[in-house]
Amino acid sequence: MTDSNLELQESGWEELRREARKIEGDLDVKLSSYAKLGARFTQGGYVESGSPSVSRSWKSMEMEIQSLLEKLLDINDSMSRCAASATPATSVTQKLARHRDILHEFTQYMEINNLCIVVARIC
């Protein structure tokens, strides 16, 4: 592999990592807000009022988070392809594994909050 190809792969990897970190930060903020909204649902405040605007904001926030999770999944897949085509390096493998762990944690957190909200709405 030529030096220019290596540099291109490294710059592509770093660009993907920057994008992943940005989306991870956005997800962290949105999931925190979503959890607060979920806590209000489970405490009975919004369930009893049945406010359509709250329901719309909950659904809108849910869709936004799902979209970000899908983008992060796509970026992780691109990072995997980029890492596979490069010379194997432990640091790259570790960073890729950490990004995958973060995606998994965010996905689980979203599912748990979703479940809490759904249960609160039907109880």
Question: Tens of pLDDT along 57-88?
Answer: 778 899 999 999 999 999 999 999 988 887 76
Q: What is the per-residue pLDDT for 4?
A: 45
d(CA 23, CA 107): 13
Give the burial string for 86-106 (b: 16+ CB within 10 Å, else e).
beeeeebeebbeebeebbeeb
Q: What is the pLDDT of residue 52?
A: 61
Q: State the pLDDT at residue 120.
A: 72
Q: In this predicted structure, what is the pLDDT of residue 45?
A: 57
Q: How high is the pLDDT of residue 25?
A: 97
- Looking at the chain, the number of H-run helices and the number of E-run strands are 4, 0
Distance CA 116, CA 58 (A): 12
Residue 8 is predicted with a pLDDT of 45
Q: Where are the domains of the chain?
A: 3-122
Stretches in the chain below the pLDDT threshold 70? 1-9, 41-55, 88, 123
Dihedral angle at the C-alpha atoms of 89, 68, 22, 111, nearest 10 degrees?
A: -80
- Looking at residue 9, its pLDDT comes to 67
Cα–Cα nearest to 41, from 53, 54, 52: 54
Name the CATH topology of 3-122: Methane Monooxygenase Hydroxylase; Chain G, domain 1 (1.20.58)
